[in-house]
Chain A
Amino acid sequence: MENILEINGLCKRYDDFALKDVSFSLPKGYIMGFVGENGSGKTTTIRAILNMARIDSGRISVFGMDSVKDSIAIKERLGVVFDSLYLAEHLNVRQIEQQLRPFYKDWDSKAFFDRIHQFELPDKKRVGDFSKGMKMKLMIAAALSHKADLIILDEPTSGLDPVARDELLDILSEYIEDENCGVLFSTHITADVERIADYVTILHSGKVWYTGTKDELSEGYAVIKGDDKDIPDALRKKLIGFHSYRNGFDALIRTDDLAGIPDALEYEKTTIDEILVYIAKEDKHERNS
């Protein structure tokens, strides 16, 4: 399978934070959800892909081209949606279109205005006065109007109401119906990832904690619960983010490690949200012990 995006050994050090050996890849034709707690490095990684942040080491290739050397050619085929509007707030949709058009060889004005109408965006109102959902749709319309093959969204759903989020998922599923495109989107609202994402990458303190298909992630882990005293010693060190309370305990566990657990312990399937919480708890234990 051909990768539309490939990151190998990406390192980037700041004074108080570092991306350490980040590697993952997104095959053509699929959607990847990019999740992790605040400050885990998602935005830094996205900035590196867009060549907006210099990388210390590693290599990023987009459409098989080098993110640094071929940055201009890559941007021609890349659509970006941020959590806040990157377009001039005092202009209306028509003026924005005129501003964007010269930047892209493949700009399609008709496709742009068709989208604007489909999204029911007013074309004479200042975009600065748009609601958050309208701004997001405007950025998507722009991204889709220069025949982008890869769309990168950074927290597109934060601050959106459920209706607008649902519309976004709809737009992305429609976009991906063409097998030649790809979507990378970072989000805190993991329910969105749980639904439409094919692949998931979880970032934790600047490192990749998981990357692979969403199904393998949700089948690979479970939440285990029960009474503290029923945990066999061999199992105890396999528990991730162990949390004990007055009446019992809960923790994350690999489903491979579930074989032969005592009947007194119960387990159930987990969600990406829960996984993120247990990873953070595990980290705290390590720092405290």
Chain B
Amino acid sequence: MKIIIKNKSELPIYEQIEQQMKEQILNGTISEDEQLPSIRQLARDLKISVITTTRAYNDLADEGFIISVTGKGYFVAPRTNDLLHERMLFEMEDGIEKAVTNGRNAGLDDDEIIEAVRRFMEG
């Protein structure tokens, strides 16, 4: 797991953590069932407030990315986890929406957009 805090970023630190962890969970950099550093360890490593890391973990748990196991700590949720799966579908739909909107803005018709998607998938 890699987290880089930018102090000059307009994004609050907890959101920076959430964003980077989500990205790494979704793309598999942090593998499923991997144990995460404890809230206090992470705060110490990043030299930031415990409240900030607590907030990031709570949000990630609420959204189904990570799970808290009493007495053991936090783990990446298994991919079969409904919430995480739903989340991935949501991310996909979000991406499709952006792609279609951008395509239409560029003056493409629906067939051309679908063709572009197909080309992308075939690499």
A130 CB to closest chain B CB (Å) equals 25
Considering the chains assembled together, what is the distance between the CA atoms of A29 and B49 in angstroms? 11
In chain A, positions 132-168 with a C-beta closer than 8 Å to chain B are none
A150 CB to closest chain B CB (Å) equals 16
> When each residue 176-217 of chain A gets 1 if its CB lies under 8 Å from chain B and 0 otherwise, what string results?
110100000000000000011111000000000000011100
**Does A174 have its Cβ within 8 Å of any Cβ on chain B?**
yes
Secondary structure dominating the interface of B? helix
**Does A31 have its Cβ within 8 Å of any Cβ on chain B?**
yes
B110 CB to closest chain A CB (Å) equals 36
**Does B50 have its Cβ within 8 Å of any Cβ on chain A?**
yes
Question: Number of contacting residues on B, CB 8 A?
Answer: 14
Contacts A215-B55, A219-B12 given: A197-B49 contact, CB under 8 Å? yes
- Among A31, A169, A170, A177, max chain B CB count under 10 A is at A177
Is there contact, CB below 8 Å, between B49 and A198?
Answer: yes
A38 CB to closest chain B CB (Å) equals 25
Q: Which residues of chain B have C-beta atoms less than 8 A from A30's C-beta?
A: 50-51
Question: Number of contacting residues on A, CB 8 A?
Answer: 21
Is there contact, CB below 8 Å, between A170 and B50?
Answer: no
Considering the chains assembled together, what is the distance between the CA atoms of A253 and B51 in angstroms? 24
**Does A173 have its Cβ within 8 Å of any Cβ on chain B?**
yes
Considering the chains assembled together, what is the distance between the CA atoms of A176 and B10 in angstroms? 27
Is there contact, CB below 8 Å, between B12 and A215?
Answer: yes
Q: A31-B50, A198-B51 are in contact. List 16 more A-B contacts (CB 8 A).
A: A30-B50, A169-B47, A173-B43, A173-B47, A176-B40, A177-B40, A195-B47, A195-B48, A195-B49, A196-B43, A196-B48, A196-B49, A215-B12, A215-B52, A215-B55, A219-B12
**B interface residues with partner A (beta carbon < 8 Å):** 10, 12, 14, 40-41, 43-44, 47-52, 55
A-B contact pairs, 11 of them (CB 8 A): A170-B44, A177-B41, A179-B40, A196-B47, A196-B48, A196-B49, A198-B51, A199-B51, A215-B49, A219-B12, A269-B10
